[in-house]
Each structure stands twice: as C-alpha cells, then as structure tokens.
C-alpha cells in the first residue's frame, strides 16, 4: 500500500512524511532484528524520497502511538536492573544501542539529507515533558543524556524533542496538540514546529468514534502559520490498521483510522483531504513572504487578528476570527473581508483571499462498504465460500509447559506478552458437608483483575466473564460438586499500556483477591494464596493453528457455535476487483483472526460504544477536544477489519479465527470499501475562487477576477455524473444528504447544473447570478448540489 499512500500524501500537498520507528517491531527479540515486509524501514524512506517527499524520522524509541507497550519490546522489561525512561544505565544502554542501530542503517543507505537523502529531521524520546515530573531529578539528567546521545550519532540534520520545554540546545522542542499557535520554542534560534496536529482521535473498544471537522483542523493549521509556524505534521494523515497484537492499550481498537485525511483503507476522506490540499496550496502561495520575515500581528477588533508578513518585494496576510459565535466583516488595508466565526482567511498578496478555513470548495464524496458475494454462482449474500471446520481449544491447562506457583501472578511478568492469554487454574476438593454445596444457595466466586478480560470456567463450563481497562470485579454464582472441582480462569490482555508515567509497570491479569463465598453463611475462603497452575498462551497458538495447515481440523456438522474457545477455519476466494477488503465480524464475539497466516488483529464486534456524547453534526467552532465530536454511540465500536489486498490470493485463501467468547462464524461476511457514487457540495458567493485559479492583482485585472466555482468530479476515472439529485442556487439549507431549498431559489438551478454536468466526469459551475439569474436581492446566495456518479 505504501506507494499509493505516499503518492496521495504528495498529491495532498505534503512535503514531509513523519513516521515513528517501532522498536518492538524491529527487534522483537533482543539482538534479532526485523527490517522485512512492513518493517522494511529503508524501503519506506526510499519510497517517500522517490515521490519527492522529505522524511521526519521519529526514532523515539519510546513512541506512545497507541502501540503495544508504547513501542518498547516487552523483553526490555526483563533486562536486569532496568528502569524505563529515566537515568538508568541498563535502559540507556539499550536505548542507545537501538537508536544507533537505526541511525547507522539510515546512514549506510545515505538517507540523511546531509548525505543527499530525504531525512531532514529526527526525533528522540516522545512527550517526556508531559510526565517527567513523576521521575524526579533523574528526569533532567535523562533528558540531557538523551540529547547528547542523539547528537553524538552525528546525523548531520537536526533533532527534535516533542513536548519538552527544557530540551537542551540544539535540540528543537516541538509542540503536539489540537492547536499550537500559542506555542513558542525555548530559544529564538529554534523554528516553531508542530510534530502532531491530531486530525481526529483514536478509537477504543467500547468507545464511540471520534471525528474532527476539517474546518477546525484547517483553522488550527492556518492559525499556526499565521503566528510564525514553520512545520506542521498531521497526526495521523494516514493511520491505517494495527494488525496482529500491535494495538496499544488497554483496549485500543484494531482500526487506527483516526478520522485522518487518508482513511484506514487508503481511500481519500473527502472533503477533509481536498480542503487541506487547498489550504496547503494557499499557504505555499505565501511562501516567499513566510520564509523571509516574521509576522506583524495586529488586532482588528475583539477576537479579530491580522498577521502580515511583509518584505520590500512581497506581502502575505492571514486574517483570523477566533470568536466562536459571530461571523465578522473586517476592514483590512481599506478593503472589507467576510470572516466566519472560528476561521482564517489567507491573502497571499495581502489583498485577495485565496482560502478561508471555513469555506470548503471540495465536495463530500460518499464511501460505502459493499457486501460481497463470494460465490459467483449465487447464494443470497456474502456468506463465506466454503464450509467451516473447527478445533476446540481445551478449557484449562493443556500444555506441557504449564507450571505451578503459589499465589496469583501478574500477567505481563508471566507471559512476557508472548500471548494475550494466561490460564490461572485451581483444583479444589469439596467435601460433602461443606457450606458451598448447600441446596438453593450457590457459592459465589469473587474475582478481581486489573485487566482486561476474564473468563471463569467451573468444571469446564463458562460461568461468567467481564472486562475492563484497569479493574474488573466479578461475583459469579457457581455450582460446585462434591469432590474434585476445577476453577479455570482465563485472563486476556487487549493491548499493553502505552502512555503515562511508569506505564510499563501498570500490569495486567488476575491479581486478586479471589475468594469463594458461601451465599448463605457468608463465610469465605481465600483462593488467591493457593497453589495455582499457570499456562501461558493457548494450545492452538503453539500447535500452529493460525496458518490453517494443521491436520486436526474437524469438518463434522453441526459446527459448534456460541461456545467459548473454538478455533474456526474456512477458505475463500478474494472478492473481485481491486477495492480494499474488510471482514465484517458481526455474529462473532471476540478473538483474533488470521488470513493466510497473517494476523489481521483482534476483533471484538460485541464491544459496544456507550450511549452518551454523540452528535451527528458537530459544531466546528470553538476549541476541539478528543471527546467533542463523537459518532456511533450504542453501536459496536468496530465490526469491520481490514484485510490488505496484498495478503490475498485470487482463490484458496485461508481464514482462521480464535473465537474466545462464543459466536457464529458463519455470519461473517466480506465487504469492499468503495468510493462513492454520491458527490455533494455547497459553495456561497462569498467563497474564495478555487485556489488553483488564484492570481495576484498585479497579474489580473479586477474585472477578470475569478468568481467562486462549485467543482464536482467523480472519484473513479471510469465514472461520469449520471444524475443530479439536488440543485439550488439561492438560500439552500442543510448539509450533504439532506439539502433543502430555502425561501430563495433560482428556477434554473437544476437545468443549469444538469446541462453542465451530466455525462461528464467533472464539471465546474460558477456560483453567480450571471449563470443562475437573480432569484432574490440583498442576500449572499449559495449553490448546493448533490450528484450521483455511475
Ligand atoms: C501523543 C503521542 C502520540 C499518540 C497521540 C494520541 O501524546 O505522542 O504517540 O499517542 O498522543 O494519539
């Protein structure tokens, strides 16, 4: 996917690709490096260069990034005497070794700009300043050491530290956040840089989906350049998918879509991508002035601000309305300008507006998941091509490497994160006269875990389960029998913590107390201190079920469904075409899935988002925060899981799932993500003309100045505009998909638009009375169009 994603970034007007380097991916075992496949960092950097882009390499090696353990390999935790991210010799030695490894690799390939390559900047550490107070005095010396260690590697290009106000010279301290216009670096010799402008936010299992309106994102960017910014990076521009068990935690979803301009599947998210592309063009029209001088900032009234970059030969201005409620008309250099609330206008010649952050000239393009029938000869829907076979994972201890230990063990220290799964198993002898066997009063098993999922099996039967980020408390009424009983507790991690002071030590698993209470007498016995048997991982993980090759698969009917801990397998043909593919896991519970042996990640369609906080149309005006704009309340957080096309063969693909909760895999379906057949946009008479047509006054007479234009283009090159679902020039209302006419409407609207667009891939409609007549006077009118492509 890289070449296409990189090209779409270049086309979107980016100059630099910023990427983290994931230590856990590149050194999964100590001294065993992996730079293959999707960990081929050299290839990635070279592809960026090939597309004409620079690279900012954020080595970290702590990266956060909603990545398992913040990017640290878990073996690091077991290095004797180690303390992470502080002035600790074992840690510093490992950090230096890995950082050196990466820098050397880049140098060997001549990838630093100092060598003629694309890397213009590298990062050491990540947002340590946010949490360093927790590390006391050692934090200061650790940061000093990090800086000098990085500098000693002599890359020939600058280093940055993000969110590190005390970054020692010459490390550039940079800003991360939703806005960074107020940020200033810690020295006048350093450029004002923004390493993470959060284009949306990440999704958690059990959470609604965050989104960030592009008007606000563009506003944040324009404000940054208005106030002297030099470098701004979208985090994420493309977030993609956290395949396998790479998602951080706890409980971070497999999708890392992030509401980014390029979506999880590599498709353009419109109008986000297009509006930002226009913004980038407008800013670059100011380039001569921006690089020549600092801005002069003046007030144009309450909440109104002008910044002028003026030299003898050039002038560029940014006009901002930072008020959240009222639009304003300002006078600047004797001319008047309309500034919607919470918006910035960019004037590359200090006179004519090339762009306003709140006035979108890019159409919304629908995208949809289309169900795929995998059998060409029919079948009603998209059920999988062939039959399912299964293998039941044993409940409780089944592996020979199981071991006994008194007391309850913390999970990460026990599994070293080799697997999400840890069995805690106990055998108990209950004599006939004990209170736990009383008729009519069940015994209650009390379990406390610090995360993230627990299944309790009594005598081989699922008795209860629960999940939580840091705390799970279960009280499960259970049936015991006289004589031998087994209590098998399966504890499951869902991504190791990646953020916060000492995140590496928060731990997971059933840490207790665990007790057995008699519901009747109230007496209880402590189970935590007893002798438990432990098993790291599942049997099927060890016996290689994930590839589907094992001879043990059972294809007898009926297929066991709605039972915990069953491995399922089927084969399927790739959906036709080249559109991105997703599996819809509706019908299953929770687990991990593999396609042709590649883990596509954890699936959990039964994890439902809470009911509160969602808005369909979020007001972009006013400060954004991660939970300001949410959708998908009350629905599964993630039902669709990306399967990269490159992992599929035309036919005979294997899908394996480990279903831990219980579900029906026959309900699984395949979908393709298709870019849309529907285009929609509203452009007013006060919108700037398309940025591509912008010319300064010196080059064009006032009369010829281009008017606003509504441009439509079908996203797929073979499509043409086939129908106009809505067209109104006047005072149309509403948003895409629900436009309605206002009191003022040109009767020509539909016929003009039809004539200009039908049968063509793209069309441009001037938004003016010259074209549409004058349905009313004294108001700023708009043209709203909704069209279909086919
Ligand atoms: C930042 C961090 C990133 C990412 C982001 C949230 O604090 O530097 O790595 O975790 O938050 O998506």
Distances (CA, A) of 349 to 352, 539, 635: 6, 69, 49
What b/e sequence results for 281-312 when a residue is b if at least 16 CB atoms lie within 10 Å of its CB, and e otherwise?
bbbebbebbbeebebeeeebeebbbbbbbeee
What does the alpha-carbon distance between residue 642 and residue 649 come to, in Å, rounded to a whole number? 15
Ligand 1 neighbourhood includes 745 CB (under 6 angstroms): no
SS3 label, residue 30: coil
* Mutual angle of helices 89-108 and 138-152, in 10-degree steps: 20
What does the alpha-carbon distance between residue 125 and residue 187 come to, in Å, rounded to a whole number? 20
- On the question of pLDDT at 398 being above 80, the answer is yes
Backbone angles phi, psi at 776, to 5 degrees: -160, 170
* Mutual angle of helices 2-11 and 41-50, in 10-degree steps: 40
Reported as a single tens digit per residue, the pLDDT across 276-316 is 999 999 999 999 999 999 999 999 999 999 999 999 999 99
Ligand 1 neighbourhood includes 252 CB (under 6 angstroms): no
Ligand 1 neighbourhood includes 126 CB (under 6 angstroms): yes
Q: pLDDT confidence of 617, banded at 50, 70, 90?
A: confident
Reported as a single tens digit per residue, the pLDDT across 70-127 is 999 999 999 999 999 999 999 999 999 999 999 999 999 999 999 999 999 999 999 9
Q: pLDDT confidence of 458, banded at 50, 70, 90?
A: very high
Question: In whole angstroms, how large is the CA radius of gyration of the chain?
Answer: 30
CA-nearest residue for atom 3, ligand 1, is 65
Beta bridge partners of 726: 786
What integer is the mean pLDDT of 386-395? 93
Q: How many CB atoms lie within 10 A of CB 586?
A: 15
- On the question of pLDDT at 173 being above 80, the answer is yes
What integer is the mean pLDDT of 193-210? 98
Provide the token pair at 623: 């400060």
Reported as a single tens digit per residue, the pLDDT across 462-483 is 999 999 999 999 999 999 998 9
Ligand 1 neighbourhood includes 207 CB (under 6 angstroms): no
127 is catalytic: yes
Reported as a single tens digit per residue, the pLDDT across 727-772 is 999 999 999 989 999 999 999 999 999 999 999 999 999 999 999 9
Residue of 18, 27, 127, 786 marked active site: 127
- On the question of pLDDT at 383 being above 60, the answer is no
Pocket test for ligand 1, best of 246, 252, 499, 625 (most atoms within 8 A of CB): 499
Closest CA to 86 of 139, 125, 128: 139
Name the residue with higher pLDDT: 433 or 418: 418
CA 672 to chain centre: 20
Pocket test for ligand 1, best of 18, 19, 65, 130 (most atoms within 8 A of CB): 65
pTM over 0.85: yes
616, 633 contact by CB (below 8 A): no
Reported as a single tens digit per residue, the pLDDT across 544-568 is 999 999 999 999 989 999 999 999 9
CA-nearest residue for atom 6, ligand 1, is 65
DSSP 703: G
Determine what percent of the chain is predicted with pLDDT higher than 70: 96
- pLDDT at position 436 is 73
What does the alpha-carbon distance between residue 385 and residue 574 come to, in Å, rounded to a whole number? 10
At CB < 8 A and 24+ separation, what contacts does 333-341 make?
338/686, 339/304, 341/621
Beta bridge partners of 712: 763
| Omega before 451 within 30 of 0, i.e. cis | no
CA-nearest residue for atom 11, ligand 1, is 65
């Amino acid at each position: 996917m890289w070449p296409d994603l990189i090209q779409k970034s270049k086309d979107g007007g980016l100059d630099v690709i910023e990427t983290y380097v994931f230590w856990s991916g590149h050194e999964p075992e100590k001294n065993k490096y992996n730079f293959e496949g999707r960990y081929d960092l050299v290839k990635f950097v070279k592809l960026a260069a090939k597309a004409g882009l620079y690279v900012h390499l954020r080595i970290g090696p702590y990266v956060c990034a909603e990545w398992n353990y913040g990017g640290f390999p878990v073996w690091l935790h077991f290095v004797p005497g180690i303390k992470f991210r502080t002035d600790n010799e074992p840690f510093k030695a490992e950090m230096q070794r890995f950082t050196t490894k990466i820098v050397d690799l880049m140098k060997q390939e001549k990838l630093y700009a100092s060598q003629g390559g694309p890397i213009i900047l590298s990062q050491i550490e990540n947002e340590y300043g946010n949490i360093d107070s927790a590390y006391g005095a050692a934090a200061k010396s650790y940061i000093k050491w990090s800086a000098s260690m990085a500098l000693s590697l002599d890359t020939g290009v600058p280093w940055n530290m993000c969110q590190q106000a005390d970054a020692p010279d010459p490390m550039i301290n940079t800003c991360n956040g939703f806005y960074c216009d107020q940020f200033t670096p810690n020295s006048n010799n350093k450029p004002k840089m923004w390493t993470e402008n959060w284009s949306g936010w990440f999704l958690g299992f059990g959470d609604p989906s965050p989104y960030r309106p592009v008007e606000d994102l563009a506003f944040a960017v324009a404000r940054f350049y208005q106030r002297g910014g030099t470098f701004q990076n979208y985090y994420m521009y493309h977030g993609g998918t956290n395949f396998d068990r790479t998602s951080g935690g706890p409980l971070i979803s497999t999708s890392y879509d992030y509401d980014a301009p390029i979506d999880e599947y590599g498709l353009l998210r419109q109008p986000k991508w297009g509006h930002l592309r226009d913004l980038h063009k407008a800013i670059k029209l100011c380039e001569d002035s921006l690089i020549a001088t600092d801005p002069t900032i003046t007030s144009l009234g309450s909440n109104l601000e002008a910044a002028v970059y003026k030299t003898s030969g050039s002038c560029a201005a940014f006009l901002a309305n930072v008020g959240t409620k009222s639009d304003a008309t300002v006078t600047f250099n004797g001319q008047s300008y309309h500034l919607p609330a919470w918006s910035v206008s960019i004037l590359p010649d200090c006179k004519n507006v090339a762009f306003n952050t709140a006035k979108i000239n890019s159409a919304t393009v629908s995208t949809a998941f289309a169900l795929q029938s995998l059998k060409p000869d029919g079948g009603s829907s998209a059920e999988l091509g062939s039959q399912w076979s299964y293998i039941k994972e044993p409940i409780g201890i089944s592996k020979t490497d199981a071991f006994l230990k008194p007391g309850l063990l913390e999970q990460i220290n026990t599994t070293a994160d080799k697997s999400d799964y840890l069995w805690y198993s106990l055998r108990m002898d209950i004599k006939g006269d004990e209170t736990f066997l009383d008729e009519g009063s069940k015994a209650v098993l009390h379990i406390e875990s610090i995360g993230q999922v627990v299944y309790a099996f009594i005598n081989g039967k699922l008795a209860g389960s629960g999940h939580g980020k840091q705390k799970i408390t279960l009280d499960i009424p259970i049936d015991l029998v006289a004589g031998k009983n087994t209590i098998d507790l399966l504890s499951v991690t869902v991504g190791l913590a990646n953020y916060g002071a000492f995140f590496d030590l928060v731990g997971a698993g059933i840490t207790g107390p665990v007790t057995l209470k008699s519901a009747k007498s109230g007496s209880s016995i402590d189970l935590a201190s007893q002798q438990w048997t432990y098993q790291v991982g599942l049997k099927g993980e060890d016996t290689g079920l994930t590839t589907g090759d094992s001879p043990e698969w059972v294809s007898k009917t009926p297929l066991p469904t709605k039972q915990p801990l069953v491995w399922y397998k089927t084969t399927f043909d790739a959906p036709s075409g080249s559109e991105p593919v997703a599996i819809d896991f509706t019908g299953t519970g929770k687990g991990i899935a593999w396609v042709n042996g590649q883990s596509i990640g954890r699936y959990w369609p039964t994890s439902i988002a809470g009911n509160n906080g969602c808005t369909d149309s979020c007001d972009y005006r006013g400060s954004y925060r991660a939970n300001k704009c949410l959708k998908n309340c009350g629905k599964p957080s993630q039902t669709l899981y990306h399967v990269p096309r490159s992992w599929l063969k035309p036919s005979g693909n294997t899908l394996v799932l480990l279903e831990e909760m219980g579900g029906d895999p026959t309900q699984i379906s395949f979908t393709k993500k298709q870019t849309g057949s529907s285009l929609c946009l509203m452009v007013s008479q006060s919108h700037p003309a398309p940025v591509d047509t912008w010319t300064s006054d010196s080059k064009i007479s006032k009369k010829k100045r281009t008017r606003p234009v509504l441009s439509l283009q079908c996203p797929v090159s073979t499509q043409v505009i086939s129908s106009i679902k809505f067209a109104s020039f006047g005072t149309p209302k509403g948003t895409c998909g629900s436009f309605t006419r206002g009191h003022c409407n040109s009767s020509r609207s539909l016929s003009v638009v039809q004539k200009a667009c039908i049968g063509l891939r793209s069309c441009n409609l001037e938004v003016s009375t010259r074209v549409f007549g004058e349905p009313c006077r004294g108001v700023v009118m708009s043209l709203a169009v909704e069209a279909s492509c086919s």
